[in-house]
Structure 1
Amino acid sequence: MLIRKIALIYFSLLALLFSANAQNEALAKIDIPDLKEYLTFIASDELQGRELGTEVNGLEITANYLAAYATEIGLKPAVENYFQTVPVLHTTRSKNDFIEVKNKKGKSVYRSEELVKLNQSHGVFSLDKESVLFIGFGENIESLDIEDKLVIVAQGNAESFSGEEAFKWQNRLERAKMNAIIEKQPKAMLMITNPKDTENKIFKQLQGWMNRPGYSLKTDDLTEQPAVLLATPKVADALLGKKGEYIKYLEEVAAGSEAVTEVSETLSLKTGVEPELLEAKNVVAYVEGSDPVLQNEYIVFMAHYDHIGVGKDGDVYNGADDNGSGTVAIMEVAEAFASLKEKPKRSIVFLWVTCEEKGHFGSRYYCDHPVFPLDKTVASINLDMVGRVYDGPRDDVWKDSPKKVKDFDGLYTLANDVWPGLAEINAAHCAELGLVPDSSLPKERFLRASDHYHFHKYGVPILNYATGYHADYHKVGDEVERINFEKIKRVADLCFLVGFDLANKIDIEF
């Protein structure tokens, strides 16, 4: 019996020794010259900032580069050619918008091109000789039947209309109002700006903002929401009969008079253009687990590889830290796992997502259309900006942010509460590497701030690594020359150690 116990201890120690040696050999694959080589290419001017719509398709070039790398180091393609197609809609400014008021005889009494679409309804929206219903400031509409009607609502509320800040656009107030009205399924909602804003400052501001070319993720939800539109008080005056009638109407409503008003005039309008369908790409590769059962569970390492492109002045925003750093760190982590002779028990997925800067399109699409089941994904580890250290007073522009860039040892390690064991494993390996984890970021804000959000939304345990905001965040100064490659290596080492531990841990339950 004693001999058997000794033998068991001996072989257990031998297994640990082999495991430690294997880890050390794999960690040696993560090296600074490779990180520099990869990032120098990905963050080069030639790729024009890795954004949709640039003259040189740097986003596509980067996706091909990552797929070629995955092939070279022996990762398995999770989808054909490693590419998961992400459908993106590109909308340009409409040049044929108009809004027209006709009297009860059908004669045009007002026509203008001053019309803005405020929500994300796609394509062309038009109405012809539609009756309208004024509903004041859109307050106290709970009992109001506005289904399938064109409603006219005033910007602001009765209090702000009478106050000193009458022209200010209060986004939270207006969005809440829009949502409450849209829930009642009107045919459309037309918001009219404040008639005291005689220079139409608010209209022009929103027109400039909303009429920019834009991108959105094409979703499977075919439910079309009612259009939400914005026009000037001249439209309301024409509908109410003459100039100056709209401000009188609002003064009466603000004083307590009935808000709901029908008129005999009708409204015709047209706005919007058909969007162009683009195809962006997530790059998805994996190392298959060695255990016949646990290989059907997954650890996902993720980084977005896009950035913000070229400025109006022609300057290229190369995004070396955001997020070239996370992209190349995962490349090296992938090589480390691929080099293991005996693969971990669980499968390791490497997910480079597209269009984070446009609104997390790539990660949202992956989670809505997962290549590997999310209920079998035991962790998603997202790297977003892991290549900078505090650079003196210039970085103090972020002194009031909870996420100002860390020193050489510091690292933001944001975890959700799905499985506390993930944060514990992370803390242990941070201590092993001399890293100081900071888990103090406000979760309500920062769980939504990057691609990990969509995994969190589906109940997957997440970790987000970041070195923090610096003076060059979203500026042309985010260049390779300012990257601390030793810091990237330390984060990549941490990823490997955490991932290796997770992939071989038997009892993960959440």
Structure 2
Amino acid sequence: TINLKYPDDFVASSAHLQPDIKIDKSDVIFVGYGVVAPEYGWDDYKDVDVRGKTLLMLIGDPPVPDPKDPSKLDEKMFKGKAMTYYGRWTYKYEIAAQKGAAAAIIIHETEPAAYPWQVVRSSWGKENFELDNPNKNMDAVSARSWITFDVAKKLFADCRQDFDALKKSAITKGFRPVALNAKARIDIKQQIRSFKSHNVIGKLEGNDPKLHDEYVIYTAHWDHLGRHPELQGDQIFNGAIDNASGVASLMQLAVAFTKLNPPPKRSVLFIATTAEEAGLLGAKFYAEHSLYPLEKTLADINIDGVNPWGKSHDLEDLTNGNSTLDDLLGQAAARQGRVMKANSEPEKGGFYRVDSFEFAKAGVPVLHLARGIEIIGKPPEYGKQKRDEFVAKHYHQVSDELDPKWDLSGAVQDVQLLFEVGYQVANGDKFPEWKAKSEFRVRHEAMLRK
């Protein structure tokens, strides 16, 4: 028997909108990375029946070595170093539910997760939110959980399994699920409360009589993690960078657009989304119940955190050149005397962790830039050090607070850039498009046929 300490060893919750969740004597099965990806010839489940079982799985994509150079990842498998949606925790819970599992437990590792355990702890070890729906989320797994890497290794050892060997086998197509000779008991008691939380939308009407009913959207989420009453000392997660800074940018963009004379040809929406930290819920709701038709929506330009460290020579494109919006961004950056670079940390899957992803899934071309790290007037390593320090010490922590030492000239620089891109789209002669390499192109074409 292994008794785990919450939330030091594990976190758990249920999307089921009911007060008591009980799982007892559920067989525990290790399913590798928990991925079914036909386009890569990959199936971690094979033909194993996992209905009613508790599944243990690794976070991230399977890091398949390049057969020509095992020190590198195979670019033909799961985009190599870059994370795909198969690596995200949301996908892993979704596929486990589709397979009929009772519970899904993700084994945390800092590098492939892109954040340390304290982020999981602060995000999951508190009240969680779900969109209400008629079936009360009963199609989800009964329990969603994370455990620490050390706890996982102990569990495998107690089951007389070689964790390292199984982890290695999980990066091969021939991997099959492994029963761990263990039973899981999970008992979740939760208080259910219903409430409304709003997306806040501002609209600037377009000036062209034929194009005013087409839309360019700017988004920034206004929520953060609230208050954690069990913490000692400071209990308030202010979210200054994540994402008060984005909302402030959104408001300044709105001010700038209202000063245009004449206004842009197309209408511009400024949407402060709710519940991003709960799983992009506000953006998801808008994408599924849009106030204005998505087939007439040209773009979503998202802001989630600004650069507080000063002007930069560079900027990073989190949307990875997947649409013609990225081309406009690169051209606008060049006019600023800056260089647009590919995402330097594609393995962190940043694209799948921001609101623009929900618009992309619906087919709308999206843009999300990341902070530049070549800070003007600073040593070459300064920007990366500041970015890494924020993730390690302040991301999703109570210490994400306003700092008088900030130099917001870099934030202004980026917001001016996003203004220019949005202005060009709002006055352009054609819709932005997903490029052929993008998995969202087919959905976009179907959307436009409506």
TM-score greater than 0.5 by the shorter chain: yes
Q: Does the 8 Å contact 1:117/1:210 carry over to 2?
A: no
| Equivalence for 2:443 | none
The worse-fitting range, judged by mean Cα deviation, of 286-295 and 134-143 is 134-143
| Equivalence for 1:370 | 290
Deviation at 1:346, TM superposition (A): 0.9
Cα 1:142–1:389 change in 2 (3 A) is closer
Is the counterpart of residue 486 in structure 1 residue 399 in structure 2?
no
Cα 1:440–1:314 change in 2 (3 A) is closer
| Equivalence for 1:453 | 357
Q: Does the 8 Å contact 1:297/1:378 carry over to 2?
A: yes
Is the counterpart of residue 220 in structure 1 residue 150 in structure 2?
no
For 1:508 and 1:177, the matched residues in 2 are separated by: 34
Is the counterpart of residue 423 in structure 1 residue 326 in structure 2?
yes
Aligned equivalent of 1:120, options 9, 12, 15: 15
Deviation at 1:299, TM superposition (A): 1.0
Deviation at 1:345, TM superposition (A): 0.9
Deviations, residues 319-368 of structure 1 (Å, cap 9, x unaligned): 33322222212212111211223111111111111232333222222222
C-alpha RMSD of matched pairs (Å): 4.8
For 1:361 and 1:490, the matched residues in 2 are separated by: 29
Q: Does the 8 Å contact 2:216/2:426 carry over to 1?
A: yes
The worse-fitting range, judged by mean Cα deviation, of 459-468 and 336-345 is 459-468
Bigger Rg, structure 1 or 2? 1
What 5-or-longer segments of structure 2 have no aligned partner?
Answer: 1-9, 33-43, 58-86, 106-117, 146-155, 161-178, 373-386, 434-450
How high is the TM-score relative to the length of structure 1? 0.51
| Equivalence for 1:340 | 260
Write the mapping of 1:288-367 to structure 2, written as runs, cut at 5 A.
Answer: 288-310=205-227, 312=231, 313-314=233-234, 316-367=236-287
What 5-or-longer segments of structure 1 have no aligned partner?
Answer: 1-114, 157-171, 192-204, 231-246, 252-258, 262-266, 391-406
**Secondary structure of 1:294's aligned partner:** coil
Bigger proportion of residues as helix:
1
| Equivalence for 1:41 | none
Write the mapping of 1:255-270 to structure 2, written as runs, cut at 5 A.
Answer: none
| Equivalence for 1:439 | 342
The worse-fitting range, judged by mean Cα deviation, of 175-184 and 440-449 is 175-184
Write the mapping of 1:42-57 to structure 2, written as runs, cut at 5 A.
Answer: none
**Secondary structure of 1:448's aligned partner:** helix
Cα 1:183–1:424 change in 2 (3 A) is closer
Aligned equivalent of 2:202, options 281, 285, 309: 285
For 2:104 and 2:317, the matched residues in 1 are separated by: 45
| Equivalence for 1:380 | 300
Q: Does the 8 Å contact 2:302/2:356 carry over to 1?
A: yes
Deviations, residues 68-92 of structure 1 (Å, cap 9, x unaligned): xxxxxxxxxxxxxxxxxxxxxxxxx
Deviation at 1:417, TM superposition (A): 5.0
Cα 1:389–1:221 change in 2 (3 A) is farther
| Equivalence for 1:92 | none
Deviations, residues 371-399 of structure 1 (Å, cap 9, x unaligned): 22222211111112223126xxxxxxxxx
Aligned letter for 1:502? V
How high is the TM-score relative to the length of structure 2? 0.57
Cα 1:302–1:178 change in 2 (3 A) is closer
For 1:219 and 1:315, the matched residues in 2 are separated by: 28
Deviation at 1:143, TM superposition (A): 6.7
Is the counterpart of residue 275 in structure 1 residue 222 in structure 2?
no
**Secondary structure of 1:490's aligned partner:** helix
Cα 1:143–1:274 change in 2 (3 A) is same
Number of residue pairs aligned between Structure 1 and Structure 2: 322
| Equivalence for 2:422 | 499
| Equivalence for 2:175 | none
Q: Does the 8 Å contact 1:411/1:466 carry over to 2?
A: yes
**Secondary structure of 1:334's aligned partner:** helix
Q: Does the 8 Å contact 1:217/1:361 carry over to 2?
A: yes
| Equivalence for 2:63 | none
Cα 1:144–1:477 change in 2 (3 A) is closer
Larger RCO (alpha carbons 8 Å, 6+ apart):
1
Q: Does the 8 Å contact 2:201/2:272 carry over to 1?
A: yes
| Equivalence for 1:471 | 389
Cα 1:274–1:499 change in 2 (3 A) is same
Cα 1:352–1:134 change in 2 (3 A) is closer
Aligned letter for 1:296? D
Deviation at 1:141, TM superposition (A): 8.7
Identity of aligned residues (%): 25
